[in-house]
Structure 1
Amino acid sequence: MEIREQEFKKNFDLHLWKRLFDFLKKYRNSVFFLIFVMFGVGIIDATFPILNKYAIDNFVKNKSLDGFYKFILIYLTLIAVQVFNVWWLIALAGKIDMGLCYDIRKSAFNKLQRLSFSYYDKTPVGWIMARLTSDVARIGDTLAWGIVDFIWGIAIMGSIVVYMFILNARLALITLSVVPLLAVLSIYFQKKILFEYRKVRRINSQITGAFNEGIMGAKTSKILNIEDKNIDEFKGLTRSMFSSSVRAAILSSIYMPLVMTLGSIGTALALNFGGRSVMLNTISFGTLAAFISYSIQFFDPVRELARVMAEFISAQTAAERVISLIDTEVEIKDFGELSQIKKINGDIEFKDVSFSYKDGEDVLEDFNLKVKAGQSIALVGETGSGKSTIVNLLCRFYEPTRGSIYIDGMDYKSIPLSKLHSSLGYVLQTPHLFSGTIKENIQYGNLNASFEEIIEAAKLANAHEFIMSLEKAYDTEVGEGGSKLSVGQRQLISIARAIVANPSIFILDEATSSVDTETEHMIQQAISKVLKGRTSFIIAHRLSTIKSADRILVIKNGKIIEDGSHRELMKKRGYYYRLYTNQYILEQEKKIFG
Structure 2
Amino acid sequence: MNPNFEEESFQNENLDTHLWRKILGLLKNNKKLMFTALLFVMGEAMITVTLPILNRYAIDVFYTGQGSTREIVLFTLGYALLVILQAYLIYQFINRSGSVEMNVSYETRQNAMEKLQNLSFSYYDTTPTGWIMARVTSDIARLSEILSWSFIDLIWGAFMMVMLVIVMLILNWKLALVVIVVVPFVYYVSAWFQKRILRNYRKVRSVNSKITSGFSEGISGAKTTKTMALEELHYSEFVSLTQEMKEKSMRAIIFNAMYVPIVILLSSLGNAGVIWAGGNQVLQGVIQIGTLLMFTQYANQFFEPLRNISGILASLQMAQASAERVLSLLEMESDLVDSDEVIAKYGTILEPNEAAYEPITGDIEFKNVDFYYNKEEPILTNFNLKVEPKKRIALVGETGSGKSTIVNLICRFYEPKAGELLIDGVDYRERSIGWLHSNLGYVLQAPHLFSGSVSDNIRYGRLDATDEEIIEAAKLVDAHEFIMELEDGYNTDVGEGGGRLSTGQKQLISFARALIAQPSIFILDEATSSIDTETEAIIQNAVENVLREKTSFIIAHRLSTIVSADRILVIREGKIIEDGTHQELLALEGYYYNLYTNQFNEDQEKILMTEL
By the TM > 0.5 criterion, same fold? yes
Which range is displaced more, 386-395 or 301-310? 301-310
Q: Deviations over 1:276-300 (max 9, x none)?
A: 1111111111100101111122111
In the TM superposition, 1:31-70 aligns within 5 A as: 31-62=34-65, 64-66=67-69, 67-70=71-74
Which range is displaced more, 159-168 or 550-559? 159-168
Please name the residue that 1:9 is paired with: 11
Q: Could you tell me which of 15, 29, 41 is aligned with 1:26?
A: 29
AA paired with 2:362? G
Please name the residue that 1:478 is paired with: 494
Q: Is the CA contact (8 Å cut-off) linking 2:186 and 2:266 kept in structure 1?
A: yes
Please name the residue that 2:484 is paired with: 468
In the TM superposition, 1:386-397 aligns within 5 A as: 386-397=402-413
Q: Is the CA contact (8 Å cut-off) linking 1:38 and 1:155 kept in structure 2?
A: no
Which range is displaced more, 174-183 or 383-392? 174-183
Please name the residue that 2:545 is paired with: 529
Gaps of 5+ in 1: none
Please name the residue that 1:573 is paired with: 589
Q: Is the CA contact (8 Å cut-off) linking 2:455 and 2:491 kept in structure 1?
A: yes
Distance in 2 between residues matched to 1:380 and 1:546, nearest whole Å: 9
In the TM superposition, 1:239-388 aligns within 5 A as: 239-335=243-339, 336=342, 337-338=345-346, 341-358=357-374, 361-388=377-404
Q: Is 1:445 equivalent to 2:461 in the alignment? A: yes
Identity %: 52
Which range is displaced more, 560-569 or 43-52? 43-52
Which range is displaced more, 25-34 or 63-72? 63-72
Change (3 A) 1:8 1:330: same
Q: CA deviation at 1:62?
A: 3.4
Q: Is 1:219 equivalent to 2:223 in the alignment? A: yes
Distance in 1 between residues matched to 2:251 and 2:409, nearest whole Å: 48
Q: CA deviation at 1:13?
A: 2.3
Q: CA deviation at 1:147?
A: 2.9
AA paired with 2:61? N
Which range is displaced more, 108-117 or 335-344? 335-344
Q: CA deviation at 1:561?
A: 0.6
Distance in 1 between residues matched to 2:386 and 2:18, nearest whole Å: 49
Q: Is the CA contact (8 Å cut-off) linking 1:379 and 1:552 kept in structure 2?
A: yes
SS in 2 for 1:419: helix
Which range is displaced more, 237-246 or 425-434? 237-246
Q: Deviations over 1:141-162 (max 9, x none)?
A: 1111113422332232222222
Q: Deviations over 1:119-138 (max 9, x none)?
A: 11111000111111111110
Q: Could you tell me which of 128, 134, 140 is aligned with 2:138?
A: 134
AA paired with 1:373? P
Change (3 A) 1:480 1:360: farther
Change (3 A) 1:529 1:302: same
Q: CA deviation at 1:341?
A: 4.5
Q: Deviations over 1:431-477 (max 9, x none)?
A: 11111111221111112222222222111121122222223222221
Q: CA deviation at 1:229?
A: 2.5
Q: Could you tell me which of 492, 505, 512 is aligned with 2:528?
A: 512
Gaps of 5+ in 2: 347-354
Please name the residue that 2:351 is paired with: none
Q: Is the CA contact (8 Å cut-off) linking 1:171 and 1:274 kept in structure 2?
A: yes
Q: CA deviation at 1:38?
A: 0.7
Distance in 1 between residues matched to 2:433 and 2:463, nearest whole Å: 17
Q: Is 1:194 equivalent to 2:210 in the alignment? A: no
SS in 2 for 1:531: helix
AA paired with 2:205? R
Distance in 2 between residues matched to 1:134 and 1:579, nearest whole Å: 51
Q: CA deviation at 1:359?
A: 6.3
Q: Could you tell me which of 406, 418, 430 is aligned with 1:414?
A: 430
Q: Is the CA contact (8 Å cut-off) linking 1:117 and 1:397 kept in structure 2?
A: yes
SS in 1 for 2:549: coil
Q: Is the CA contact (8 Å cut-off) linking 1:53 and 1:290 kept in structure 2?
A: yes
Distance in 1 between residues matched to 2:507 and 2:408, nearest whole Å: 20
Q: Is 1:172 equivalent to 2:172 in the alignment? A: no
Please name the residue that 2:103 is paired with: 99
Q: Deviations over 1:521-544 (max 9, x none)?
A: 111111111111111100111101
SS in 2 for 1:374: coil
Which range is displaced more, 177-186 or 502-511? 177-186
TM-score (norm: length of structure 2) = 0.95
Distance in 1 between residues matched to 2:229 and 2:499, nearest whole Å: 24
Please name the residue that 2:350 is paired with: none
Q: Is the CA contact (8 Å cut-off) linking 1:346 and 1:374 kept in structure 2?
A: yes
SS in 2 for 1:552: strand
AA paired with 2:126? K
SS in 2 for 1:228: helix
Q: Is the CA contact (8 Å cut-off) linking 1:38 and 1:151 kept in structure 2?
A: no
Q: Is the CA contact (8 Å cut-off) linking 2:15 and 2:316 kept in structure 1?
A: no
Q: CA deviation at 1:340?
A: 6.0
SS in 1 for 2:338: coil
AA paired with 1:307? G
Q: CA deviation at 1:63?
A: 5.6
AA paired with 1:28? K
Distance in 2 between residues matched to 1:521 and 1:438, nearest whole Å: 22
Distance in 2 between residues matched to 1:359 and 1:68, nearest whole Å: 85
Which range is displaced more, 328-337 or 135-144? 328-337
Q: Is 1:153 equivalent to 2:169 in the alignment? A: no
Change (3 A) 1:360 1:479: farther
Distance in 2 between residues matched to 1:54 and 1:359, nearest whole Å: 79
AA paired with 1:21? L
SS in 2 for 1:578: helix
AA paired with 1:546? I
Distance in 2 between residues matched to 1:75 and 1:257, nearest whole Å: 34
Q: Deviations over 1:197-234 (max 9, x none)?
A: 11111111111111122222233333333322322322
Distance in 2 between residues matched to 1:522 and 1:224, nearest whole Å: 31
Please name the residue that 1:582 is paired with: 598
AA paired with 2:143? I
Across the aligned residues of Structure 1 and Structure 2, the Cα RMSD in angstroms comes to 1.5
